[in-house]
Amino acid sequence: MKINVEQVTDRLAGHGEGPAWDAATGRLHWVDMLAGDMLSLDPAGGAVTRTPVSSVVCAVRPRRGGGLVLAVERGFALLDPGATAPRLLPELWPAGPVRMNDGGCDPLGRFYCGSMATDESPGAGKLYRLDTDLSVTVVLDSVTISNGLAWSRDGGTAYYVDSATQRIDLFDGDLTGRRPFVTVPTEAGTPDGLCLDAEGGVWVALWDGGAVHRYGPDGSLDAVVPVPVARPTACAFGGPDLADLYITTSRPSADDPTPSGALFRARPGVTGFADYRFAG
C-alpha cells in the first residue's frame, strides 16, 4: 500500500532528527542535530519555535512530570517545565570523534541513546541508559551507527537499528536476546529511525531511500510512504488522536533542490500509542 505525504514546514533543519510527540503540550518536538537546536511544532497553527540546546542535540523525549529529556553531543540534558534553557548533565566521554545519535524511552521510564563515530568507524559506538536517578549505564558495546529504538505496546519487545547492519533487530524488553527481525535491501536505503503503531507495525525511515516502510508484526513489508527527499531520518506518531505520522529529513547539501530539511506528515490509517516517557 502506498501512502501520500504532505510537507508541514519549510526547510528548517540541516539534519532533522528524533521526532517525539508531547501530549502534555500538544506539540511535536524534533532536533536540528548539528545546529544544536530543538524545534517544536504547534500543529493547530503551524508555528515552529527553535530552542538552542548545545553544540549538538541528537534526540528528545517528554518527561512524565513535564519538561523534556535530551541527548546532546557527549551525554544528556534536562529541560525542566517552564525553563527556557536546558540543564546539561556531566559529559560521559571527552571531546573527540564520537557523538550521540538517536534514542528512546523504555516502559520503566528510562531514556536510552546510542553513540557513533563521526567518521562511522565500525564498532566505535555504545548504547547508554539514563536511569531515573540520573546515573548512566552502558547497555550495548561495539555498535556502529546506533539509530531507532522503541518498545512494543506491552513492553515485552524492543526494536533496534544499528544502521550498519541493514537490519531492524528484536530484543526482549530488558534488551537481552537479540535476534534479527527485518533485513532492508541495500537498494531500498539504509534503516534509520523508527516507531511502532498500535497494531504492532514497525515504521522505519530509509536514509538514501526516499521513503518510510511499514513492516507488519511478521516482518512483511505492507506499506510505503514515499518522501520527496533522499534522506528521511526518523518518524513518530503524533496529533491529538496519534493518527499523524511525522517524518524528519536531512539536507545532503545547501544547494539540494528538494525540500530536504523540512518536516513531513502522512495519515497512514493506523494510530500510534502513548509513547513511553522519561521518569527522571
Residue 10 · residue 260 · CB < 8 Å: no
Residue 18 · residue 60 · CB < 8 Å: yes
Q: Please report where in the chains the cell 531507532 appears, as a residue.
A: 148
DSSP 185-253: -GGG-EEEEEEE-TTS-EEEEEETTTEEEEE-TTS-EEEEEE-SSS-EEEEEEESTTS-EEEEEEB-SS
Q: Which residues contact 37 (CB under 8 A, 6 or more apart)?
A: 31, 50, 51, 52, 53, 57
Question: Is 255 part of the annotated catalytic residue set?
Answer: no
Active site residue: 192, 197, 244, 275, which one?
Answer: 192
d(C-alpha 249, C-alpha 4), whole Å: 16
d(C-alpha 57, C-alpha 20), whole Å: 14
Q: Which residues are catalytic?
A: 192
